[in-house]
Amino acid sequence: MSRKGGFSKSQTLPTNNKSKGQSGGGRSLTQPTIVDAFGEGSAASLEEQVDDVVRFFVLKGGEQIVKRSEVHKHVLPKAGRYYERVMERAVIVLRKVYGFNLILIDATANTPKSYILSNALSYKDDETLSDDEVPEDANKILLMLILTHIFMSNCSVNEGSVFGFLKKLNIDVNVRHPVFGIAKEYITNTLTKLKYLNIEADPATKQIYYHWGVRSEKEISKHDILKFVCKIYKDRVPENWDNQIQQAREQCLDNVKIHENGENICPPMETE
């Protein structure tokens, strides 16, 4: 990063004495007049604003949802027409340097337009774990189980189906589990707040339905989920699930995962 410490503050530039007597009432060229004239469009100024945006999101942490209005107010109050250019460059830095995807979530009836900082690195199995061990982040296992069930159920299931599926795995969502704790609270509060799950109520039937959240769509590969399911069934291949394989391909294209050389890297559907 080009600067360290807190966010930059406006500094007054030296007065240009030759400006006196020129048109405009003899105003000295302090920073405000330069900003007015050039819209903070210099390369140095843009780079500083990019640094501020990157620092802001890194300090916020990847678990928080950040309103677009917060960025305008606290980081880029004077960016004006350069706002989108600054954000585009900040997105590149966050991904290449910190391994984060900055995702803009469109406004809904209940949520203003916001950003989430998503892990750009794929989930990977810990090959060093034995069958009897549980990784430190046990809640990741719970999330992956739920996402797998939703995905293999054509991406939408009611709440009873989710909880029933977990109960078959000896996870009663209403009883404290030795590994996952009170799973229902974690599912309905934390996973939805962090945009890993999207929960909607059917206005006609009042049933609650679960879908993949926007963060899961960006962080977790449906290709990998389908390969995992094939390993469980052993006698199945991805082609046995036409709908799921199509959704996996669409997700890969939507996420625009590109090599540095520009080649599309949507992986082929092959089991190991």
118-130 residue pLDDT tens: 776 554 444 443 4
Q: Looking up tokens 């050039």, which residue turns up?
A: 38
What percent of the chain stands above pLDDT 90? 19
What's the confidence (pLDDT) of residue 197?
95
The set of residues, in sequence order, having a beta carbon less than 8 Å from that of 54 and lying 6+ positions away, is: 1, 90, 93, 94, 97, 98
pLDDT at position 64 over 90: no
- pLDDT for 266 equals 57
Intervals of CATH 1.10.10.1200 along the chain: 17-119
In this prediction the pTM is: 0.59
Predicted confidence (pLDDT) per residue in 215-248, tens digit: 888 888 898 888 888 888 777 777 778 888 888 8
Q: Residue 67: helix, strand or coil by DSSP? A: strand
Q: H or E element: which one contains 65?
A: strand 65-67
Q: Which CATH number fits domain 17-119: 3.30.420.40, 1.10.569.10, 1.10.10.1200, 3.40.50.2300?
A: 1.10.10.1200
- Domain covering 138-255, topology: Arc Repressor Mutant, subunit A (1.10.10)
**Strand stretches in 94-239, DSSP E:** 100-105, 114-119, 157-158, 197-201, 208-212
Using one digit for the tens of pLDDT, what is the confidence trace for 157-216?
999 999 999 999 999 999 999 888 899 999 999 899 888 999 999 889 889 999 999 888
Q: What is the pLDDT of residue 121?
A: 57
The set of long-range contacts for 238-245, using a CB threshold of 8 Å and a minimum separation of 24, is: 238/269, 238/270, 238/271, 239/269, 241/152, 243/154, 244/151, 244/152, 245/269
